[in-house]
Amino acid sequence: MLTSSHELKIGQFVKSKAGRDKDKIFIVVSIVDEQFVLITDGKLRTLSNPKMKKVKHLARLAFIDEEIQSKIENQMYLNDADFRKSLSKLTSNKEG
């Protein structure tokens, strides 16, 4: 069962804690069930081929891209560039 401290939302930024993609940052695009989510970064993991990842292998970051969240929930058009742009804003904010 998901607890509130581990609950992920669509549009949530997450960091991989395990696997080949360890320490990479992704955005949650779909919640499959209480153990799995689909994530993308717009580069290696595209929107057309998101990665299914166990929730326990992800670290939840405090950022949610509300624009992406809204577009997914309203089934509006998104492309990989939207995810790359969103992730680049996060990394530029961390550096600045």
| pLDDT tens digits, one per residue of 9-31 | 999 999 999 999 999 999 999 99
29's enclosing H/E stretch is strand 25-31
43: pLDDT strictly greater than 50: yes
- Distance from C-alpha of 64 to C-alpha of 17, rounded to nearest angstrom: 19
Domain range annotation of the chain: 12-95
CATH architecture assigned to 12-95: Roll (2.30)
Q: What is the pLDDT of residue 3?
A: 39
**What pTM was estimated for this model as a whole?**
0.88
**What is the C-alpha separation between 29 and 9, in angstroms, rounded?**
9
Residue-wise pLDDT tens digits, 44-67: 999 999 999 999 999 999 999 999
Question: Mean of the pLDDT values across residues 32-45?
Answer: 94
Mean pLDDT of 74-92: 91
- In this predicted structure, the answer to whether residue 1 has a pLDDT above a threshold of 50 is no
Residue 8 has pLDDT above 80, yes or no: yes
Tokens 């993991």, residue located = 45
